[in-house]
């Protein structure tokens, strides 16, 4: 995945951004019969490998710093991320008569909205940070047939997101 990202500080507390990914994907799946189950195993080997490239799902973000932090108080940042289903989704890729994909998907096919809260606590020479959020993936009507199944509506489900980390200042110009 290669992507271009742009962030813009609207005010000293509000930042908006966008990320546009370009996806190259190669999936390899080769199915062969179990040894001894047929007279000619090579005749039933199925290679359903696919590849594809193109625009992925675009992400839009907004971040707002809620407070000024302080001695032993973390900075709190409210985040909102939206994923727009601009990539080629798994339900619209070309398929053969048996329903086997002939190109790879570059997107998920669903809108996603993620509100989250980030806490950042400076503690020289380190900075501790953590984020807690929830992703709402929106259901949609697919109304397509992938043999032998008719797919009408899919609800991909939601998820809880959590992450934590530490940044360490080695000197005035270097951190990790």
CA distance 97 to 56: 26
Q: What local confidence, expressed as pLDDT, does residue 74 receive? A: 95
Encode 28-47: b = buried (16+ Cβ within 10 Å), e = exposed: eeeeeeeeeeeeeeeeeeee
CA distance 74 to 67: 9
Q: What local confidence, expressed as pLDDT, does residue 43 receive? A: 59
- Long-range contacts from 165-173, C-beta under 8 angstroms, 24+ separation: 165/128, 165/129, 165/130, 166/126, 166/127, 166/128, 166/129, 167/126, 167/127, 167/129, 168/125, 168/126, 168/127, 169/124, 169/125, 169/126, 169/127, 170/125
Q: Is 153 left (phi over 0), alpha (psi -120 to 50) or beta?
A: beta
Q: How far is CA 117 from the centre of its chain?
A: 18
**Predicted confidence pLDDT, tens digits, the chain (176 residues):** 999 999 999 999 999 999 999 999 988 877 777 666 555 555 566 777 888 899 999 999 999 999 998 888 999 999 999 999 999 999 988 888 878 888 899 999 999 999 999 999 998 889 999 999 999 999 999 988 888 888 999 999 999 999 999 999 888 888 88
CA distance 129 to 121: 6
């Amino acid at each position: 995945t290669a992507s271009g990202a742009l962030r813009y500080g609207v005010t000293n507390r509000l930042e908006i951004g966008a990320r546009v990914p370009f996806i190259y994907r190669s999936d390899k799946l080769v199915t062969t019969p179990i040894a001894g189950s047929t007279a000619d195993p090579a005749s039933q080997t199925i290679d359903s490998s696919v590849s594809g490239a193109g625009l992925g799902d675009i992400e839009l973000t907004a971040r707002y710093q809620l407070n000024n932090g302080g001695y032993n108080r973390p900075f709190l940042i409210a985040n909102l991320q939206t994923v727009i289903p601009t990539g080629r989704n798994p339900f619209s890729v070309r398929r053969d008569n048996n329903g086997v994909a002939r190109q790879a998907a570059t997107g998920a096919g669903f809108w996603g909205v993620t509100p989250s809260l980030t806490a950042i606590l400076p503690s020289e020479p380190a900075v501790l940070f953590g984020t807690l959020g929830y992703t709402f993936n929106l259901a949609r009507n697919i109304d397509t047939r992938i043999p032998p199944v008719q797919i009408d509506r899919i609800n991909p489900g939601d998820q809880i997101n959590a992450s934590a980390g530490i940044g360490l200042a080695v000197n005035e110009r270097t951190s990790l």
